[in-house]
Amino acid sequence: MIELTRLNGQPISVNCDLMRYAESTPDTTITLVTGEKLVVLESREDLTQRVKQYRASILHEAWPSAASAVSALQTFRASSTE
């Protein structure tokens, strides 16, 4: 879940897996897969960053060594192209 703020200033936790899309019209409006719409104070760009950070945290929790594995793979690929 990501933490967002309704237009009235009240915090809300949103399951980002249920988001269908987000629009800036000019307020950020999130449409869920259920058709429900949420209007929040955060910008669409901020919303996107929060979703990315949330998903990265889930992956990090599930696979803590991923960062070193990805780094090693990138080093291997870089050295094999030289």
Residue 82: what pLDDT? 63
- Quick one: tokens of 3? 């933490």
How many structural domains is the chain composed of? 1
pTM given for the model: 0.74
β-strand partners of 17: none
List the beta strands (DSSP E) in 1-82. Answer: 2-5, 11-14, 19-24, 28-32, 37-40
Residue range of the domain that includes 20: 2-80
pLDDT higher than threshold 80 for residue 73: no
SS3 for 26? coil
Q: How many CA atoms lie within 13 A of 55 on its CB side?
A: 8
Mean pLDDT of the chain: 90
